[in-house]
Amino acid sequence: MVTIKDVARKAEVSSATVSRVLNKDYTLQVSEDTRQRIIVAAKALGYRKGGMRSKRPIDTEIVKKNVGLLITCSEKLEFSDPYFLSIRQGIEQECVKQNINVSKIFRLMDESEHVIDSNELDGLFVIGKVHNELLNHLTRMKQIISVDYMIDDKFDSVMFDLQKAARQAIHHLIALGHRKIGYIGGISYIRKISGRSYATDIRQLEYEAIMKEAGYYNPKHIFVGEWRTEEGYALMRQALEQDDRPTAFLIGSDPMAIAALKAVSEFKLKVPEDIAIVSFDDIPFASFVTPPLTTVKIFSEEMGRTAVKLMADRFNGREIPLHVTIPTNLVIRNSCGSESGRTNIDLQNSDAMS
């Protein structure tokens, strides 16, 4: 009789982790390498629920299709910034519902040279920004769904309206009376065969356009680095060292904004009394920091689920590519100084302010 303890011993993890992985608990934050090691160990031992040995190995139920995930960030970055992690979890959860098997996960790093075997996969989800030439170099697959970026018109894509989201956030700060509004964010890049192609992020572009229109633009109020949590802290310190510092900031992600709060505190300033902050994502932790973050809610998990539905639709014969835009909401909390009762403003209302 094979038990969970036997699998745990072979996989060198705890019994609790084995149980949650084999029961497809996708809320468990565990690396894909560990997840695969557990599944392989269970198959090798012939484990099945109830602890009985069986000729039929685990997870060999009939599946219609096998798909892969191509992710453009490392596991470390994925777990430090929940945006990409949430997309992946949405894909994995919906794949279970759609009877689709996620059989391969590829991480596209600068130093890696992956070749995706089309013979093993029926479809591929691409999470992040990848140039079409690089994708063609990696695979000749036809069924590709991109999430967070539109690679090519011929492939389905799922995105959110980043331009509209940024517009709503900036207009909200202007409506509160702020004129010296700074921007903290990261550099946008697309992975190519020869490395990376860098570009100004859409959030920054929209910020610059609106501030110029309103006559409030100051290039000295723009602070850009890498999309890392610690950069939010470093860039905010840099901003606050200026004599003519902004009274409000649009920050490109919640993790960067949370780090920025620490910098504000170190300068003996208060949010929102001295510095107002609006950010992006609405990660679960955003409502628990002090003060709670005003942030644009991005339904990243729904983006992943929608991508799987598009893939299932492709498998069922659809040939015309679709490009889906998921709506976003501005969630108003205390970090910008407005009434806490005003929440979940639909971004469609921003058209009246444009």
Yes or no: say if 15 and 21 are a contact pair by the CB < 8 Å rule. no
Tens digit of each residue's pLDDT (9 = 90 or more) over 273-312: 999 999 999 998 999 999 999 999 999 999 999 999 999 9
Mean pLDDT value of segment 171-181: 96
Q: Is the pLDDT of residue 6 over 90?
A: no
List beta partners, residue 184: 223, 251
Work out the widest C-alpha separation in the chain, in whole angstroms: 74
Q: What is the model's pLDDT at position 165?
A: 93
Q: Is the pLDDT of residue 348 over 80?
A: no
Tens digit of each residue's pLDDT (9 = 90 or more) over 303-343: 999 999 999 999 999 999 999 999 999 999 999 986 443 33
pTM of the prediction? 0.75
Q: What is the model's pLDDT at position 64?
A: 64
Q: What is the model's pLDDT at position 58?
A: 47
Residue 339 burial by CB count (10 A; 0-12/13-18/19+): exposed, middle or buried? exposed
Higher pLDDT, 204 or 1: 204
Domain with CATH 1.10.260.40 in the chain: 1-61
Q: What is the model's pLDDT at position 111?
A: 45
Mean pLDDT of the chain: 85
Q: Is the pLDDT of residue 231 over 50?
A: yes
**Residue 155 phi, psi dihedral angles, 5° rounding:** -105, 145
Q: Is the pLDDT of residue 264 over 70?
A: yes
Q: Is the pLDDT of residue 168 over 80?
A: yes
Q: Is the pLDDT of residue 114 over 70?
A: no
Class assignment of domain 162-298+328-353?
alpha beta
Q: How far apart are CA 181 and CA 264, in angstroms?
A: 15
Q: Could you tell me the fold of the domain covering 1-61?
A: 434 Repressor (Amino-terminal Domain) (1.10.260)
Least confident interval from 52-56, 106-110, 144-148, 206-210? 52-56
Which run of H or E residues covers position 249? strand 248-251
Q: What is the model's pLDDT at position 191?
A: 72
- Give the closest residue to 35 by CA, choosing from 80, 72, 89, 82: 89
Residue 51: which pLDDT band, with cuts at 50, 70 and 90?
very low
